[in-house]
Amino acid sequence: MKKVGKALAILMVFALIATQSLAACTIFAVGKDATVDGSTIISHTCDSRGDDVRLWLIPSMAAGTARDIVLNGRAGADYSQFPEVKDYGTGGMVLGSYIHEKDTNQYIHGMYSFMNDKGLAMGESTCGYDSSSEQGQKLKEVWGRYEGILDCYMIQDLALETCSTALEAVEFMGAMIEEYGWNGAAECINITDGTDTWVLEAYGGHIWCAVRVPDNAVFVAANRCRIDYVDFEDEANFRACDNLIDFALETGLWDGEGEFQPNNVYAPNKEDNMGCTLREWRALSNLCADLDLDPYGDADEYPLFVVPDEKVSVQTIKDLCSDYYQGTEFDISRTVNAGPFGDILHPNYVYRPTNMYNTTYFQVANVKAWLPEEARCLVWVGWGAPSVNYITPVWASQTSFPYHFGQGLRTEPYNQDSGWWVATGVQQTARINYETAIEIVKAARDPRLADVYEQTAMIQEVAGKMIEEGNKDAAVAMLTAFANSTATEWHELYKSLDAELRSELMFGCVDMKVQTDPQWWTDIVNANLDNPRP
């Protein structure tokens, strides 16, 4: 791979401060023996108040194409005609470039790109650390001296353009970090290809490591690095930069005492950061009921992987992404901010749930390695809070996307042609009376989603057979037509659903009938009144 412009990039990077917005995302990664059908699954809820909401297909680029290395080239950038038109937004900075040695893969571009037409999928969770702690101060100084030019957006683009398998992506991303250096917060990146599932953590500077998810297990991360052990002799299950330990010793980040834990050396979690660890506690406990985890305890004791009690499906992951601690002491639907109608989407919460009101998009990649590449590269995508919104099937091999995928910005007025605006419009309307609204949403969404799951599996199998028989173009055309019509039907359904919720739940009433406050809410009110009401 021939690189050009790197010297200029190195000079520039020391004069620039990255403006990459930190997202707060939850990710899952599931091995093939832990799923209902032998596929692998990874997911990503991309949660923030500033991320770009649009999705595009990036076509294959010919060998010899020069590719910009861009820092912070996302929010507000227009990739609808990339690479012919290069619009990296107002914050994008070109810090270098390289030339592709072979034709690239087509892939789905989002705030974080997440699937290519080979069936390689990935997500990310941005991981902070306690910068006020002694270790945090050391890290801040060390990473400042070794800051590179690759951010998470860019490295995922590069990996999807270049790689076909999860291990290839791990090795490629690791090599790129070692050569170009990392820019931005630490990241935990989940990667799968239908056969293998890996988790790579990029810490800063040129330091990284990765672990393979056991085939029978599930991994979860909620904005904190979790790889606490690396076996350098076990290349089947671990990868890391050669100086993973030596660098920590040389810089004083580790004193050499006790067991070396990459996550706690390079991105230690805040001691009281239950906004992260509570999401992991909830997910791990839901997956494995026999786990006896303390939500207030030391999260370092949480297992890196769990074998689930039941095989996992796409719907299992969607349900986990929709969680708000319901039925536990942390249930946000029974708090003051939730009001008498159990509004779980209120922006103020004590402990951050997995289900977030400000979700940009969420994706659940479901890769079946036994199918041809063009049929296996399936990912389910949706916008907004998972509890309220739909997911729809998309293949990275498609020849086009629906119009509403590429429309809308948070900084622009409400747009009925935007997938994000319509979906989040429904969730905002649902807040009028959430407990009633969610039942209306479920009645409209869930039976249809069950049908779409079944139809998708059938279409996917048919497409696979067509490809095996030499009818690849026809198969891809069929997948494109099915995916686009399904997504458009969801979009139109949610337009109607928004109007239905407004008409039925105006003022928080149900068909203009005032609702009696529930007892749990009356108890909250009375606890704050000198003269309790009956």
pLDDT above 90 (res 13): no
Q: Are residues 167 and 261 in the same domain?
A: yes
Please determine, for residue 140, whether its predicted confidence score (pLDDT) is greater than 70: yes
Considering only the C-alpha atoms of the chain, give the largest distance between any 2 of them, rounded to a whole number of Å. Answer: 78
Locus of tokens 């004069």? 15
Tens of pLDDT, residue by residue over 255-282, are: 999 999 999 999 998 766 899 999 999 9
Q: Which amino acid is at 246?
A: D
Instruction: Judge if 401 and 297 occupy the same domain.
Output: no
Q: Span 175-201, mean pLDDT?
A: 97
214 and 341 housed in the same domain: no
Same domain for 244 and 353, yes or no, is no
- Phi then psi dihedrals of residue 98, to 5 deg: -150, 170
Task: Name the band, by pLDDT with cuts 50, 70 and 90, for residue 196.
Answer: very high
Confidence of residue 531 (pLDDT cuts 50, 70, 90): low
Residue count (the chain): 534
Are both 268 and 386 inside the same structural domain? no
Residue 367, beta-bridge partner list = 40
Q: How far apart are CA 221 and CA 283, in angstroms?
A: 10
- Whether residue 328 lies inside any domain: the answer is no
Which is more confidently placed, 476 or 349?
476
In a domain, 321, yes or no: no
Residues 193 and 291 both lie in one domain: yes
CA distance 46 to 192: 18
- What letter represents residue 381's amino acid? V
Tell me: do 380 and 456 sit in the same domain.
Answer: yes
- Clarify whether residues 143 and 250 are in a common domain: yes
516 or 158: which leads in pLDDT: 158
Domain limit, last residue, from 312, 346, 364: 312
The answer on pLDDT for 2 being more than 80 is no
Question: What is the model's pTM?
Answer: 0.94
Domain count, the chain: 2
Write down the pLDDT at residue 5: 44
Per-residue pLDDT at 23: 58
What is the pLDDT, as a whole number, of residue 15? 34
**Whole-number Cα distances in Å, 155 to 88, 340, 371:** 15, 45, 27
Query: Which residues have C-beta within 8 Å of that of residue 75, sequence separation ≥ 6?
Result: 21, 50, 51, 52, 89, 91, 111
The amino acid present at 239, given as its one-letter code, is R
3-state SS of 456-475 is HHHHHHHHHHHHHCCCHHHH
Could you tell me where the DSSP H helices lie in 95-197?
134-145, 152-162, 166-180
> Do the domain assignments include residue 137?
yes
Residue 534 has a pLDDT of 59
Is residue 166 in some structural domain?
Answer: yes
In a domain, 326, yes or no: no
What percentage of the chain exceeds 70 in pLDDT?
A: 94
Co-location of 360 and 441 in the same domain: yes
Q: Is 40 helix (H, G, I), strand (E, B) or coil?
A: strand
Q: pLDDT at residue 21 above 90?
A: no
Is residue 319 domain-resident? no
Tokens describing residue 408: 């809308």
Kindly state whether residue 420 falls inside one of the protein's structural domains.
yes
Q: Check: CB of residue 178 under 8 Å from CB of residue 206.
A: yes
Short-list 107, 89, 25, 95, CA closest to 67: 95
User: Nearest CA to 41 among 275, 504, 368?
Assistant: 368
pLDDT for 133 equals: 87
Domain final position from 297, 312, 327: 312
Give the alpha-carbon dihedral of 387, 279, 227, 131, to 10 degrees: 120
Using CA atoms, how far apart are residues 396 and 411, in angstroms rounded to an integer?
Answer: 28
Q: What pLDDT does residue 528 have?
A: 77
Q: Which residues pair with 363 in a beta bridge?
A: 44, 381
Looking at the structure, tell me whether residues 293 and 430 fall in a common domain.
no
In this predicted structure, what is the pLDDT of residue 269? 83
Range of the domain at 83: 1-116+123-312
- The last residue of a domain, from among 312, 344, 366: 312
Phi, psi at 70, each rounded to 5°: -115, 135
Per mean pLDDT, which range of 375-384, 400-409, 509-518 is the poorest? 509-518
pLDDT given for residue 270 in this prediction: 73
- Kindly state whether residues 357 and 291 are assigned to the same domain: no
Domain presence at residue 29 = yes
Name the pLDDT band for 1 (thresholds 50, 70, 90): very low
Residue 322 has pLDDT above 50, yes or no: yes
Rounded Cα distance between 361 and 114, Å, is 11
Reported as a pLDDT band with limits 50, 70 and 90, residue 14 is very low
Low-confidence winner among 97-101, 360-364, 439-443 (lowest mean pLDDT): 97-101
Compute φ and ψ for 212, nearest 5 degrees: -85, 135
Nearest C-alpha neighbor of 365 from the set 32, 9, 75 = 32
CA distance 490 to 485: 9
* CA gap 293, 297 in Å, rounded: 8
- Tokens 């609808």 belong to residue: 80
Asked if 441 and 516 sit in the same domain, the reply is yes
Please spell the DSSP secondary structure of 178-247, one letter per residue: HHH-B-SSEEEEEEE-SS-EEEEEEEEBTEEEEEEPPTT-EEEEESS-------TT-TTTEEE-TTHHHH
